Homo-oligomer: A and B are copies of this chain.
């Protein structure tokens, strides 16, 4: 795990990632805090904090005494939130940096198209 993001947020983001890419399906059980503690060697409070953030957001739900599960619609909700945040998180920072570095627009677009081809995203 990287050293810059707080651990509880890394736990949250790892679970989100698994939901978005389908490794964790709806109504599937999420690793328990005990399992997270053992796997990531973090403390119990940190693991619970990451999980509870997602419960508060309705992405996960708890069944008392059984465990924590992926909420129905969680994947679509996460995708929707990311689509909403996409301009502010990706487009604007890119444009500001390109402008700051005086990278010509046409050059940047050509590079974007080339890299897009490499990863199979057509522009």
A→B interface (CB under 8 Å): 3-6, 9, 20-21, 79, 82-83, 86-87, 89-101, 103, 105-106, 108-109, 111-112, 115-116, 119-123
Contact = CB atoms under 8 A, between A and B. Distances in A.
Q: Is the interface of A mostly helix, strand, loop or mixed?
A: helix
A97 B108 contact: no
28 contacts: A3-B6, A4-B5, A4-B6, A21-B100, A79-B101, A83-B103, A86-B97, A86-B101, A87-B115, A89-B97, A90-B90, A90-B94, A90-B97, A90-B98, A91-B94, A91-B111, A94-B94, A94-B112, A95-B116, A96-B119, A96-B121, A98-B121, A99-B119, A99-B120, A99-B121, A105-B121, A106-B123, A109-B109
